[in-house]
């Protein structure tokens, strides 16, 4: 963890900003605007890019991926510039929680993978790039989005150790654990061999 140098009031402020940024339901908004229907009634019912892809719109899925990543990256970069590293990490964690538990959707959100990758790119771009590469390599081999997310999440603390990003390690382990928890149903389907492939409706 970084040294706590920012005041408690400012940390709370950046946590709120991060949460509100993360809680914007990008996928649902895009699906509505682009006439793709209600994501809750499509595929897994999730609000992330993988489920948006099940609408058949690669453009909407790509935009969702980008916007969900920015929801994590922007508050981290702003908090770092205006407060400090402690505020940046807290804003990133709050953005992730906002995506997973958005107040606007009754705290029923997505699984946080794109937001996780976005905030990691903002906190330490080499770690973020390695996590993205891990996701892409696993997806290319296995064609299962959830498995790719799980492998990428678990790889992040390892990359932090390898590259010496000690101050990020606690956050990396916490986020990886949260992603594993959010994917508990997917893990069960992977073990049963019933998890859908990327692009399957």
pLDDT tens digit string along 166-197?
Answer: 999 999 999 999 999 999 999 999 999 999 88
Contacts of 110 (CB under 8 A, 6+ apart): 27, 46, 47, 48, 68, 99, 100
Q: Is the pLDDT of residue 15 over 70?
A: yes
Give the mean pLDDT of the chain.
92
Q: What is the DSSP letter of 39?
A: G
Alpha carbon dihedral 59, 64, 66, 72, in 10-degree steps, equals 180
Backbone angles phi, psi at 83, to 5 degrees: -130, -75
Residue 200 has pLDDT above 70, yes or no: no
Is residue 128 within 8 A of residue 69, CB to CB? The reply is no
| Per-residue confidence (pLDDT) for residue 31, from 0 to 100 | 85
Output 27 or 89, whichever has higher pLDDT.
89
> Measuring CA to CA, how many Å separate 149 from each of 40, 46, 73, 178?
21, 15, 18, 12
Residue 120 in contact with residue 77, Cβ under 8 Å? no
Per-residue pLDDT, 130: 97
Does the structure show a pLDDT above 90 at 148?
Answer: yes
**Taking residues 137-164, what's their average pLDDT?**
95
Find, among 78, 168, 90, 176, the residue nearest to 125 by Cα.
168
Give the three-class secondary structure for 9: helix
Angle 46-134-120 from CA coordinates, rounded to 5° = 70
Give the model's pLDDT for residue 199: 58
Q: What is the pLDDT of residue 39?
A: 81
Looking at residues 96-119, what average pLDDT do you find? 93
**What is residue 201's predicted lDDT score, i.e. its pLDDT?**
54
Nearest to 89 by CA among 66, 119, 131, 121: 119
What's this model's pTM, rounded to 2 decimal places? 0.92
Q: Is the dihedral of CA 57, 60, 62, 65 positive or negative?
A: negative
């Amino acid at each position: 963890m970084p040294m706590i140098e920012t005041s408690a009031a400012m940390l709370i402020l950046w946590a709120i900003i991060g949460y509100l940024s993360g809680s914007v339901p990008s996928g649902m908004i895009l699906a509505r605007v682009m006439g793709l229907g209600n994501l809750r009634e499509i595929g897994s019912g999730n609000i992330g890019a993988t489920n948006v892809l099940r609408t058949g719109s690669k453009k909407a899925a790509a935009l969702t991926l980008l916007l969900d990543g920015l929801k994590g990256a922007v508050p981290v970069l702003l908090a770092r510039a205006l407060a400090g590293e402690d505020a940046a990490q807290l804003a990133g964690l709050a953005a992730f929680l906002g995506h997973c538990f958005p107040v606007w959707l009754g705290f029923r959100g997505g699984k946080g993978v794109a937001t996780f990758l976005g905030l990691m790119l903002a906190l330490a771009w080499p770690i973020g790039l390695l996590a993205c590469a891990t996701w892409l390599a696993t997806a290319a081999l296995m064609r299962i989005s959830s498995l790719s997310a799980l492998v990428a999440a678990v790889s992040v603390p390892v990359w932090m150790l390898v590259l010496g990003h000690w101050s990020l390690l606690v956050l990396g382990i916490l986020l990886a654990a949260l992603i594993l928890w959010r994917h508990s149903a997917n893990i069960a389907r992977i073990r049963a061999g019933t998890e859908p492939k990327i692009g399957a409706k």
